[in-house]
Amino acid sequence: MTPVRIGLAGYGRGGRFFHAPLIGLAPECALAGVLTRSPRRRAELAEDFPGLPAAGSLAELAAAGIDAVVISTPLDTHEALVREAIALGLPTVCDKPFTPDAASARALVNEAERSGVPLAVYQNRRWDADFLTVRALVESGTLGEVISFESRMEQYPPSGGFSATGGGVLRDFGSHVADQALQLFGPAAAVYAEVHVRPEDGFDDRFFLSVRHAGGVTSHLRGDWALHGAPGPRFRMTGRTGTFAVESGDGQSERLLAERTEMPGPFGTIPEARWGRIYRGEDVPPEPVPAQPGSWSSFYSAFARAVRGEGALPVDPRDAVAALEVLDAARVSATRGEVVRLS
């Protein structure tokens, strides 16, 4: 099919190092222009993509003939830009965190539906190799009935300090781990959370989140931007007949940060030495589980097909509303020190 011409709003870390190269990796897409007013970002764009148009507004980007737009700007700009894109009739991808809370997210989704404009939220972590492996184990019943699930996204403190543009770690990493848990085990019935807020600036840099799903599974989710000890397993899932554990991710983020536009060799694959394992008892040798291949660019391939009317959106925006409902409940729980029940 003719590639969907995509405009990118924002050329900071997310736009430059993640969205732009992933759009390029999807054969159904073509990066057609970038909205950025920063002279520094425009210089970086000219270095990375010589001749690619730079626009000063979303209307200017639309006038250049784009078919859809991806919004990768600070959280506090998302709502206004999504509304403008809807008014322009542009199919839209909005980076996570989608909005600060579930109510504002629901309002945007309703507006897009009334206008008939496709709207998706960028939940690329659904295409992580380790998450796809966990999902395959759930669907196959390899562990029997699942009882509990643990998920961690952790990193050491960045050398340049933290950026508050994503709204803190609960909204940032929380958007991913909550979405993954809901995808695996369905709606949340109750939430308990502990959130560490730095007293010097009010910035939350780590959280623990317990979600009891309506189906009975309990998910323990952690996010940490100030890791000082050894990282825990990325996922651990226990069923009636065994436990699956995997230590680390598939390296897609690291490769994109290192290489941006050139991606030689398999992308999103995990070497056998780092495959997760199933544990079924003290006297049973751990069973390695071949990792599914990860592919963040699959999001853009699916989005392009949806824009052309050839498939569903890769992420239903109401899934983002559901995840934000969990994060809203987590903030209430952390403040009150109590379990919050969801209808």
Residue 335 pLDDT level (bands cut at 50, 70, 90)? very high
Phi, psi (deg, nearest 5) at residue 336: -90, -15
For the whole model, what pTM was predicted?
Answer: 0.94
4-124+298-313 homologous superfamily? NAD(P)-binding Rossmann-like Domain (3.40.50.720)
Average pLDDT in the 129-134 region?
A: 96
- In eight-state DSSP terms, residue 156 is P
Mean pLDDT of 122-147: 97
Beta bridge partners of 224: 154, 206
Alpha-carbon distance values, 13 to 10, 18, 193 (Å): 9, 7, 29
Domain boundaries, the chain: 4-124+298-313, 126-295+325-341
Of residues 303 and 166, the one with the higher pLDDT is 303
- With bands split at pLDDT 50, 70 and 90, how would you rate the model's confidence at 271? confident
CB 6 within 8 A of CB 70: yes
Of the candidates 219, 225, 229, 233, the residue with the CA atom closest to the CA atom of residue 274: 233
Instruction: Identify the pLDDT of residue 302.
Output: 97
What pLDDT digit, counting tens, does each position of 6-42 carry? 999 999 999 999 999 999 999 999 999 999 999 999 9
Phi and psi dihedrals of 339, rounded to 5?
A: -75, 135
Which of 46-55, 97-106, 191-200, 250-259 has the weakest average pLDDT? 250-259
Tokens representing 89 are 């009739």
Report the CATH superfamily, name and number, of domain 126-295+325-341: Dihydrodipicolinate Reductase; domain 2 (3.30.360.10)
The token pair that represents 134 in the structure block: 């966990």
Taking 60 as the threshold, does the pLDDT of residue 264 lie above it? Answer: no
pLDDT at 266 (0 to 100): 59
Q: Read off the DSSP letter of residue 217.
A: -
Distance, in Å, from the CA atom of 17 to the CA atom of 15, rounded to the nearest integer, reads 6
